[in-house]
């Protein structure tokens, strides 16, 4: 009787410890959102104009999506969650931090998206044909 009481008490303690560990580790998932700007240079986008910011934001969004796909793919294999965390999490957090800072600069500059069907402006006007002077 004492042995069964002792083993059931151990089982309850083990379950309680696993639940507590689950709650403790679930808090780590949200940490990257608050720490993300700490992995990027806060002054990087201060001097960017809207056109530069637009290109940078698109590149950062593409890189974030690429890293997310790699992390999802890694998690499908055996031990994939560990591989995903070790291989891709730091890059993912750094890119997310840069994206947050680029978005902040975008808002502070009051930038607007370029319409997708807008024709690019001519960068350099064309020179008219210049003919050489007649010889004397």
pLDDT for 36 equals 59
pLDDT for 16 equals 55
**pLDDT (tens place) for every residue of the chain, 136 residues total:** 555 656 666 765 565 555 444 444 444 444 445 565 666 778 888 888 999 999 999 999 999 999 999 888 888 878 888 888 888 888 898 899 999 999 999 999 898 888 777 655 555 566 667 677 778 7
pLDDT for 31 equals 45
pLDDT for 55 equals 92
User: What's the sign of the alpha-carbon dihedral 26, 102, 47, 109?
Assistant: negative
Report the predicted TM-score, pTM, of the whole model to 2 decimal places: 0.58
Half-sphere exposure of 26 (CA within 13 A, CB side): 6
pLDDT for 26 equals 44
Closest CA to 33 of 84, 82, 95: 95
Q: List b or e across 37-62, with b for residues whose CB sees 16 or more CB atoms inside 10 angstroms.
A: bebbeeeebeebeeeebbebbeebee
CA dihedral 66, 107, 35, 26 (to 10 degrees): -70
């Amino acid at each position: 009787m004492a042995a069964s009481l002792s083993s059931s008490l151990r089982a309850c303690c083990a379950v309680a410890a696993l639940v507590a560990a689950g709650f403790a580790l679930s808090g780590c998932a949200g940490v990257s959102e608050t720490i993300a700007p700490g992995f990027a240079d806060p002054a990087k986008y201060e001097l960017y104009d809207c056109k530069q910011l637009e290109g940078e934001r698109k590149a950062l969004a593409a890189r974030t999506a690429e890293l997310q796909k790699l992390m999802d793919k890694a998690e499908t294999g055996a031990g994939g969650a560990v591989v995903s965390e070790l291989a891709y999490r730091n890059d993912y957090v750094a890119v997310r931090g840069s994206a947050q800072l680029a978005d902040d600069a975008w808002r502070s500059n009051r930038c607007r998206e370029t319409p997708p069907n807008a024709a690019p402006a001519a960068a350099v006007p064309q020179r008219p044909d210049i003919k050489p002077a007649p010889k004397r």
